Amino acid sequence: MAPAEPCLVLDGSARHGVRVGVLQGGRWVAEAHSEEGALEATFACAEKALALAGLKFADLRAFAVCVGPGSMLGIRVTAMAVRTWAALRPCEVWVWEPLVALAAAVRLRGETSAFSVVSESRLKRWHVVSVDAAGVPGPTRECEVEQVAALSGRILTTACQAPQVLPAAEVVPDVWPELPRVLAQAGVLRLEPKPEALNAAADFATWSGDRHRGTP
C-alpha cells in the first residue's frame, strides 16, 4: 500500500534540523528544510512546503513521519505534530524508520549482496539493520563498535564521521532526495494512527508522552 496523496512527509531524526516534503504523483512537489531544531522549525517548514506546493492543510490526504532511531527530541516533536494534525484533519498516518529506508535505497541503487546499514546511537554504540542477500532487512538493533566491525558484508552509512570509528564503513548518499521512490517499496512504510518515537534503548520500546505526565 502507498499513502494517499498529497502526503505531507516529515523527518526530524537528524541530529540537526528538520525536513518536510509534499509527496504527490510519486515525487516531491515541494520541500522545506531548516537547520534549526524541530521544535522551532517543524510548523514553519510544513507551512512553507504547503505554500510552495500551492496546497492548503485541508488538501492533505495523508501524513508520513520518521519515527527513528535518531534525534529523540526531533522525532518526538514531528510525531506529536502529526498526531495533532491528524486529530484536526482525519487522514492516513504512516511511519518509517530511517535505516530501513536507507536499506531500501541501497537495494534500489543496485546492491545485490548482503550488507548492513548503520547510524550512530548513544554511548558510542550504533544502530544497525542487516539485509540478507534476498534483500530482506532484519530488525533494528543497537550494537557495540566491535559487533559492528564483525558484521559480514558491506557496512554502509550516511554519517560522514563513521569511518573514524568504523574504518570499514562506507559513506553513501542521503536518502531524502530518493525518499518518494523509497517509500513506495514494500515494507518501508507502515500505517500507524498514533506515531511514537522509537526509544534508543536496546529493546526499542516506544516513547509516549502519557508516561511523562504528572499525576493530577
53-83 pLDDT tens trace: 999 999 999 999 999 999 999 999 999 999 9
The domain ranges of the chain are 7-97+175-212, 99-171
Given the candidates 1.10.3470.10, 3.40.50.620, 3.40.50.2020, 3.30.420.40, the CATH classification of the domain at 7-97+175-212 is 3.30.420.40
E-strand ranges in 70-200 read 92-96, 115-120, 126-131, 141-143, 154-157, 169-171, 190-191
Cα Rg, the chain, nearest whole Å = 17
- 175 CB neighbour count, 10 Å cutoff: 23
| pLDDT, average across residues 100-119 | 97
Cβ proximity of 117 and 99 under 8 Å: yes
Going by pLDDT thresholds of 50, 70 and 90, the confidence category of residue 199 is: low
Tens of pLDDT, residues 181-197: 999 999 999 999 999 88
Cα four-point dihedral sign 61, 67, 68, 71: positive
Q: How far is CA 101 from the centre of its chain?
A: 7
Output the pLDDT for position 210: 43
SS3 66: strand
